[in-house]
C-alpha cells in the first residue's frame, strides 16, 4: 500500500513513513496538487496555507441578518 500523503510504501495504518492515518480525509493542494490531510491548516508538502471556506460566508450571513432586521423595523415604523 502507498501512503496518499508521503507516497512511501507502508504495510499498515498509520503510515510508517510520515505517521499519518492513511484512511483520513484528504484534499488536493491548489499549489502543488499533492494530497494533504483535510484537518491540517497547511499542505504537508509545500506549506501552502489552506483558507477556510466559511471565512467570508459567516460575515455575509451576519450582514444579511442585520439588514433584514433593520428593514423589518423600518417597515413596522412606517406602517404605524
Q: How far apart are CA 41 and CA 50, in angstroms?
A: 6
Cell numbers describing residue 75: 417597515
In the chain, which residue ranges form alpha helices assigned H by DSSP?
Answer: 57-79
Given this model, what pLDDT does residue 60 score?
Answer: 93
Given this model, what pLDDT does residue 72 score?
Answer: 95
Asked if 25 and 15 count as a contact pair (C-beta separation under 8 A), the reply is: no
Give 1's Cβ-side CA count (13 Å radius): 14
Collect contacts of 67-71 with beta carbons under 8 A, ≥24 apart. Answer: none
Given this model, what pLDDT does residue 53 score?
Answer: 73
Where do the structural domains in the chain lie, given as residue ranges? 1-49, 52-80
Which carries the bigger pLDDT value, residue 69 or residue 55?
A: 69
Asked if 14 and 29 count as a contact pair (C-beta separation under 8 A), the reply is: no
Predicted confidence band at 69 (pLDDT cuts at 50, 70, 90)? very high
Predicted confidence band at 62 (pLDDT cuts at 50, 70, 90)? very high
Amino acid at each position: 500500500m502507498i501512503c496518499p500523503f508521503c507516497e512511501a510504501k507502508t504495510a499498515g495504518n498509520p503510515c510508517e513513513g510520515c505517521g499519518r492515518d492513511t484512511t483520513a480525509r484528504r484534499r488536493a493542494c491548489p499549489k502543488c496538487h499533492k494530497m494533504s490531510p483535510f484537518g491540517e491548516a497547511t499542505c504537508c508538502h509545500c506549506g501552502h496555507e489552506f483558507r477556510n471556506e466559511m471565512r467570508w460566508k459567516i460575515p455575509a450571513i451576519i450582514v444579511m441578518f442585520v439588514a433584514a432586521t433593520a428593514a423589518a423595523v423600518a417597515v413596522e415604523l412606517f406602517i404605524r
